[in-house]
Structure 1
Amino acid sequence: MRTIVRNKNSKSPLSLLRPLIILSAFSFGLNGPFADIGNPPDRYPFYSVSELAPQSLQSHSEESRDENQIQLLHSGIASLQKRIDLIRSAKKRISIEYFIWEKDTAGLLMFHELIKKAKEGVDVRIILDKSITIIEMDEFYAEAVAKYGIDLRHYHRALDPASAQYRTHRKILVVDGHEGITGGRNIGDDYFDLDEVYNFVDRDIYVKGKIAKAMEDSFDAFWNDPIVKKSKVLNTQPGSNRLFRDRRNRDRYRNHRQNALDKQRAEAAEWIESHAEMEEVASQVEKVARPILKSYPIAACPKLTYVTDRPGAHIGEGVRDEYKSDFRIFRKVLFDFIENKTRSDEEFIMASPYFMLNEQWQKSLSHVIGKKGVETSIYTNSLGSTDAFYVAANFYDKIYDWVDFGLKTYVHDSKYDSFYPVYSEDIEETRWGMHDKSQVFNDDSFFVGTYNIDNRSDLYNAEMGIFCEGSSVLAENLKEDIKHRIGKSYQIIGKEKAVDSEGNPADAYGNASDKQITIMKAFTLPARLFKPLM
């Protein structure tokens, strides 16, 4: 298969520090992380509940076959195929929103499918976050896809100090307001088991029915918010300072700037135009993905809740007392589920790539473990598997105390571990991290979405997710898959001590190299300082 791969190993010391630099640059005036969680949400489309009548479930009526349908997408390549299937099925409109869209095979394959639908007259709209640390599909790519009828816009300017902290971390693909996908995956090879260097074990959820319409309507709310704009290519006009008063200087600037813009414009156009080569890639992906996808059950969930944070947050809003109740809708619902749905006789399982507990999270888990007596587990990244050293520094700084408190802690070991079929043996040999954002509250209730257990998801980024209640079949399907992943991981049992699933001694750092350990320890002090912003 033809691949277009960025070198994920070539990270300079500056690139490792960049997230902390960005966090520190715009940290003034932000709302503190330890306030109350706010009032319950009650407004559509940021909060929507769809509940099936008991008789429709018992009779297997048309409603139960068409509403509240759920399919859990555990495999990356199968989840990519499901996206392709949805795009190909679109008749009127496709609405897409992502935090990351990479310039690689998966990114181009998605554009390939979208361009075909746009040529058929389907309305294609895309919102991408414009964070300075991750943006690849910038204004030049927006301009390139516009020629095919795709409207690509950006959420928050990359260097706007008022909004730099407040990103959209949402992941949405909705077709015709009736079917959609959300979950942990962005658009990129590493999310779909296609990267030749580093891949993620992740999870998505497919939904069909009224909840998909709520997802689309929340997309419209973001699309119509002033914070989402068409990014324009900068002009070549020089400034008004003394240097440009001389005509020759002005001409030199215009020529230099125009040449640079022409080069970037040509590179974007050339990359998009190469999408025709993706037809064979799509065929090869389907050969691997289709059997996996067919093995995943589709079932009706008796009660579905869709929740998302509101768009438009910035520093001016963040300092208001009402910020959490007005904008941070998702966290309120999540903590309500943890409080009210966990049970002392059933296990509460969390999966999150990052595990950094602010005061609200500490209170919640202390209550669930200490007072309710709920057996509670977290499955997360080890140092060896993570893509963020500064997060690992905070994790290992505090996790041993939580292990002593009774939190069962499992860390991914950075290996493939034969989770699901992948495209090639070479991909099996790459480094693997975990990127899953799921929680199982009890034997019939769970959540899948975009929310990480950290301050960025809890307080700053716009997040979203799907909560299902009343389906033991779907809850068991999710629990089994997480347990399968946990079975391949290491359990931390004490200070720098871990065991594998058979009780043999294992590396608590997940087989991290000496270099990785050195880098992480160097991050420990700055990571503590910047933890409220992580």
Structure 2
Amino acid sequence: MWSISPCQSGERTDGEPMAGRNSYSQWLWWLLPVAGLAIILATCSPEQLDITSVESMSLEPPPTAPLAAASHRWREHNNADSGFHSIPEGRVALGTRLQLIDAAQSSIDAQYFLMKEDKAGYLFASSLLAAADRGVRVRFLLDDIYTTVKDASLVLLDTHPNIEVRLFNPIERGGFYWAKYLLQFERTNRRMHNKTLIVDQYAGIIGGRNIADEYFDLRAGSGFIDFDLFLLGDAASATTAGFDQFWNHPLSMPISAYLQRVPEALLRKVRDRASAAMATATGEHYDAIRSAGLLDEVLNDQLPLVPGEAAAVTDSPEKLLAPPDKEQQILVNRLKEVIVGAREEVLISTPYLIPGPSGVEFFRDLVARGMRVVILTNSLASNNHVAAHGAYQRYRESLLDAGVELFEVRATAADVYYEFGALRSGGEGRVNLHTKAIVIDRRWVLAGSLNLDPRAVNLNTEFGLLIDSPPLADELAARFEQRLQGTAYQLQHQHGQLQWTAVIGDETVTLTKEPDASLWRRVVATLSTLLPESQL
């Protein structure tokens, strides 16, 4: 049973406007503590609401289902448990998701860190509704903090008899939303960062993308370099087992808990608005984006998949309820085991890199053993979290002195096709690295949601697929190496000074300050060094 306190509502509010101001300063000083007390009382209302959360598990599809049949055929012909195909291109990633949902006959299990009410969100939601209309069971699990879809919209989706939506570790509704976040910070600061989509147990997509336009190359001026893996076979089934852990955990809150809090008039308004937006999105974009997907080729046995053996490794949802502890770092611990056992090379792509002193020493030990360690991360100009860069920059010299080959993405490289995590050729706007992938000894690949920062290691739950596949590792490593010089600066630490070197066009350029970064970004990054690193 669920117990939730406060005055909940279907809409989130970031705050309320001031009712008025008195010109006399003594009135202002009197009103401030009264307003603060009112916020606290409104936030801590003792109202209780009991909600029954029904446990459910993944469903086995009939063997004749298209995805199940394709998986069985592929395994017979390739003598491997799972097949993989890398998806760097954003529109291919979204199109394949839509095709997967269209092919579903039994179940859809979707787990994401965030979703937005934009073209990608409406296309995804309309496809889920169409699948539910065919009788497919849909379980949709979203983390609560950065999902900007209004509760009323999620409630509306949940009213379909074949769809259940749940929020993970939700913040109480009503009153001042962010006041509640701060007053319950010890709990609300811990988030589910997993990102997976599994259909009919036998096929799916995992990787770094959330459900929003910027991840799928649908927003003008946005250049997200990202990366997903399509999977067929046992790897998909193993991923679904991890989904079940989160879906049935007490922190997983049915959105139906808010149904009685959403007025019928608001639901009608949201239904009309959503219907119009979905119709527009599907009419203008659906066919073009769906046709970019690769699933039709898989179902017709026309797309070669790379064979491999995979283990789905996920942090436990209990991690969010426990103090930061190494025992809770399930994914990181397993990754360390594989890297420690490596002999030659580790290639790392991570948007946010805050290794801490222990991480620097970890990499130093690898290099001392004769291993090559190469890391690609964001530059200050390309980073969408400047505060994270502020923490990272204090470790650059130490990493370089330890022998790490360190690269930062060129924010102005949008005209370059980046295959490890792709942009359209001739793209515009600034590049932002969002790819989370590690290649070890040209044999192992880790793909999933993991960033190399304290938040991912200690505070959030993360998911990764650890794949033993030399062909896949070779493919990703070759692309990684091929494109580093075209889209990134290599850093060097010489004579006590950092240098950034890149080949831009036919010219080798060397800089001695943060490339392409404004003075404002440099100032903010410097001030961010005052923030607690453990929260970044």
One fold, TM greater than 0.5? Answer: yes
Paired AA for residue 531 in structure 1: E
Q: RMSD over aligned Cα, in angstroms?
A: 2.9
Q: Name 1:21's counterpart in structure 2.
A: none
Given that 1:108 and 1:275 are in contact with CA atoms closer than 8 Å, whether structure 2 keeps it comes out as yes
How many angstroms apart in 2 are the aligned matches of 1:462 and 1:500? 35
CA deviation after TM superposition for structure 1 residue 352, in Å: 0.2
Match of 2:166 among 153, 170, 179: 153
Match of 2:305 among 276, 293, 298: 298
How many angstroms apart in 1 are the aligned matches of 2:515 and 2:270? 39
CA deviation after TM superposition for structure 1 residue 176, in Å: 0.8
Given that 2:89 and 2:423 are in contact with CA atoms closer than 8 Å, whether structure 1 keeps it comes out as no
Instruction: Report the CA distance shift for 1:468/1:507 in structure 2 as closer, same or farther (over 3 A).
Output: farther
Given that 2:95 and 2:292 are in contact with CA atoms closer than 8 Å, whether structure 1 keeps it comes out as no
Instruction: Report the CA distance shift for 1:107/1:423 in structure 2 as closer, same or farther (over 3 A).
Output: farther
How many angstroms apart in 2 are the aligned matches of 1:349 and 1:478? 10
How many angstroms apart in 2 are the aligned matches of 1:292 and 1:492? 43
How many angstroms apart in 2 are the aligned matches of 1:392 and 1:104? 28
How many angstroms apart in 2 are the aligned matches of 1:388 and 1:423? 20
CA deviation after TM superposition for structure 1 residue 213, in Å: 0.9
Paired AA for residue 304 in structure 1: A
How many angstroms apart in 1 are the aligned matches of 2:459 and 2:423? 36
How many angstroms apart in 2 are the aligned matches of 1:268 and 1:411? 45
How many angstroms apart in 2 are the aligned matches of 1:296 and 1:411? 33
Q: Name 2:330's counterpart in structure 1.
A: 329
TM-score (norm 2): 0.75
Q: Which is further off, 83-92 or 427-436? A: 427-436
CA deviation after TM superposition for structure 1 residue 318, in Å: 1.4
How many angstroms apart in 2 are the aligned matches of 1:376 and 1:430? 30
How many angstroms apart in 1 are the aligned matches of 2:283 and 2:219? 19
Match of 2:528 among 507, 523, 530: 523
Match of 1:207 among 211, 231, 251: 231
Q: Name 1:121's counterpart in structure 2.
A: 135
Instruction: Extract unaligned runs of 5+ from structure 1.
Output: 1-44, 46-59, 237-256
Q: Name 2:288's counterpart in structure 1.
A: 284
Q: Name 1:266's counterpart in structure 2.
A: 269
CA deviation after TM superposition for structure 1 residue 379, in Å: 0.2
SS, match of residue 187 in structure 2: coil
Instruction: Report the CA distance shift for 1:144/1:269 in structure 2 as closer, same or farther (over 3 A).
Output: farther
Q: Name 2:16's counterpart in structure 1.
A: none
CA deviation after TM superposition for structure 1 residue 265, in Å: 7.0
Q: Name 2:258's counterpart in structure 1.
A: 233
Q: Name 1:399's counterpart in structure 2.
A: 396
Instruction: Report the CA distance shift for 1:444/1:161 in structure 2 as closer, same or farther (over 3 A).
Output: same
Q: Name 2:21's counterpart in structure 1.
A: none
TM-score (norm 1): 0.76
How many angstroms apart in 2 are the aligned matches of 1:312 and 1:483? 38
Q: Which is further off, 262-271 or 63-72? A: 262-271
Given that 1:414 and 1:431 are in contact with CA atoms closer than 8 Å, whether structure 2 keeps it comes out as yes
Q: Name 1:313's counterpart in structure 2.
A: 319
1:275 and 2:278 aligned:
yes
Paired AA for residue 319 in structure 2: A
Given that 1:94 and 1:176 are in contact with CA atoms closer than 8 Å, whether structure 2 keeps it comes out as yes
How many angstroms apart in 1 are the aligned matches of 2:533 and 2:404? 21
Given that 1:492 and 1:508 are in contact with CA atoms closer than 8 Å, whether structure 2 keeps it comes out as no
Instruction: Report the CA distance shift for 1:269/1:153 in structure 2 as closer, same or farther (over 3 A).
Output: farther
1:435-446 correspondence runs (5 A): 435-446=434-445
Paired AA for residue 85 in structure 1: Q
1:92 and 2:92 aligned:
no
User: CA offsets per residue over residues 133-189 of structure 1, 9 Å max, x none?
Assistant: x12124212211123342111000233444212211000100011112111111111
Q: Name 1:32's counterpart in structure 2.
A: none
Given that 1:354 and 1:380 are in contact with CA atoms closer than 8 Å, whether structure 2 keeps it comes out as yes
Instruction: Report the CA distance shift for 1:125/1:268 in structure 2 as closer, same or farther (over 3 A).
Output: same
CA deviation after TM superposition for structure 1 residue 113, in Å: 1.2
SS, match of residue 313 in structure 1: helix
CA deviation after TM superposition for structure 1 residue 215, in Å: 1.0
User: CA offsets per residue over residues 92-125 of structure 1, 9 Å max, x none?
Assistant: 0000000011121111111121111011010011
1:48-447 correspondence runs (5 A): 62=76, 64=78, 67-131=81-145, 134-148=146-160, 149-158=162-171, 159=181, 160-231=184-255, 232-233=257-258, 266-267=269-270, 270-277=273-280, 278-286=282-290, 297-301=304-308, 303-315=309-321, 317-318=322-323, 323-325=325-327, 327-341=328-342, 343=343, 346-370=344-368, 372-415=369-412, 416-419=414-417, 428-447=427-446
User: CA offsets per residue over residues 292-326 of structure 1, 9 Å max, x none?
Assistant: 9999851111x3221001113345x216xxx532x
Paired AA for residue 283 in structure 1: D
1:469-488 correspondence runs (5 A): 469=468, 471-487=469-485, 488=487
CA deviation after TM superposition for structure 1 residue 290, in Å: 5.7
SS, match of residue 288 in structure 2: helix
How many angstroms apart in 1 are the aligned matches of 2:134 and 2:330? 37
How many angstroms apart in 1 are the aligned matches of 2:357 and 2:405? 20
User: CA offsets per residue over residues 385-432 of structure 1, 9 Å max, x none?
Assistant: 01101011112222122112211111111131332699988x811222
SS, match of residue 411 in structure 1: strand
Q: Name 1:40's counterpart in structure 2.
A: none
Instruction: Report the CA distance shift for 1:264/1:387 in structure 2 as closer, same or farther (over 3 A).
Output: farther
Instruction: Report the CA distance shift for 1:360/1:177 in structure 2 as closer, same or farther (over 3 A).
Output: farther
Query: Of the two structures, which has the highest relative contact order with CA contacts closer than 8 Å and spacing of 6 or more?
Result: 1
CA deviation after TM superposition for structure 1 residue 272, in Å: 4.9
How many angstroms apart in 1 are the aligned matches of 2:294 and 2:234? 26
Given that 2:345 and 2:440 are in contact with CA atoms closer than 8 Å, whether structure 1 keeps it comes out as yes
How many angstroms apart in 2 are the aligned matches of 1:510 and 1:78? 31
Given that 1:385 and 1:433 are in contact with CA atoms closer than 8 Å, whether structure 2 keeps it comes out as yes
User: CA offsets per residue over residues 197-221 of structure 1, 9 Å max, x none?
Assistant: 3231011112211221111121111
